[in-house]
Amino acid sequence: MRQAAIWSGVWALLADGVGAGRAAGGGLGAGNRSEDRGGQGGDRVGMSVPLVVDAGGGSGGFAVPIAAAGYPVTVVDPSPDALAALRRRADERGLGDRITAVQGDLGDLRTLVGDGRVDLLLCHSVLDVVDDPSAALAQALRVLRPGGALSLLVAGRAGAVLHRAVAGRLDEALAVFGGEMPRVPRPARRFCVAEAIALVQTAGGEVLDVHGVRIFADLVPGERLADPRVAESLRRLELAAAGHEPYRNFGAQLHVLARRPGDTSTHSHKGTHRRKDTFADVEAERAVPTGGTGAS
Ligand SMILES: C[S@@+](CC[C@H](N)C(=O)[O-])C[C@H]1O[C@@H](n2cnc3c(N)ncnc32)[C@H](O)[C@@H]1O
């Protein structure tokens, strides 16, 4: 539930862009649990399977559900412990043959995977901790085929300031606002929406969309979320606000959907979700929803 906006974007990429003509899938927010799409994708007879790579995929929080949906995933991560946990998780789910675990970091990606081959590259919560995120991303993007898709997750700065302020940690809020990370070694780096967009563009990627993740979730008292109706309302609120200013800038994380420029044939057809052909199209439609009475 806390990651509903991320999963919406990932499934949309697989269904609409990466998997076009290759794999099945629905639109935004489909499925009972947002990470659960059960047995689609590569299970489809007669369809070739997209190559999915999860760089810094850790113990498989994203790779395992994607594999469970039928897409083989290669996880590249420098941590042997994380990879061991990944293998255990994959085996427990009977997905051992769909997940390949490779030890290495972002700098090894091109050697390990090869240039221009990958249909979907996940890079979640990794650029927050590398020394030069722009250079690392530029190298990583080289493994994508032209038109291949990137799912990038970075830590949000505005959300971190807000959450600390609401918790009464005002000095910390002020420090994070100023770009410091007191008493918190990781993530070493946080981004606002404009910085995340600039990061991808500087690295040579074409931004398709940006969502805020956990805009409200960390602000709702935990005991309220024990009520399934409240949890469902929160899930719907997160999804509704994820793509809209000013809300998305307050996400604890920012999810950027992008692609490597090149062939766009698998990304520009009329899809099942609201992603447009260019980021400019999306931003042109971006507005604060004005539904309801207008009362605050
Ligand atoms: C916060 S975890 C995120 C795991 C996973 N991507 C997710 O979102 O659930 C960060 C992961 O990045 C890995 N990592 C750290 N530095 C890295 C680097 N330079 N290249 C690739 N992965 C790295 C860590 O081993 C860890 O598994």
Strand order in the sheet with 118-124: 99-103, 73-77, 52-55, 118-124, 144-155, 253-259, 206-213
* Predicted structure pTM score: 0.83
pLDDT value of residue 30: 32
CATH code of domain 4-156+191-285: 3.40.50.150
Q: Ligand 1 atom closest to Cα of 136?
A: 19
| Neighbour tally for 24: CB within 10 Å | 17
CA 47 to chain centre: 25
Write down the domain spans for the chain: 4-156+191-285
For the cut 50, the answer to whether the pLDDT of residue 107 exceeds it is yes
What does the pLDDT look like over 65-92, one tens digit per residue?
A: 999 999 999 999 999 999 999 999 999 9
- Cα–Cα distance, 139 to 133 (Å, whole number): 10
Confidence at 291, pLDDT banded by 50, 70, 90: very low
63 Cα–ligand 1 center, Å: 12
Q: Specify the pLDDT at position 186.
A: 63
Average pLDDT, the chain: 82
Which residue from 155, 137, 138, 274 is spatially nearest to 214, judged by alpha carbons? 155
Q: Does position 224 have pLDDT exceeding 60, yes or no? A: yes
Q: Assess whether pLDDT exceeds 90 at residue 274.
A: no
pLDDT of residue 23: 39
Of 6, 126, 151, the one to substitute when testing ligand 1's pocket (max ligand atoms within 8 A of C-beta) is 126
Please write the tens of the pLDDT for every residue from 137-163.
999 999 999 999 999 999 999 999 999
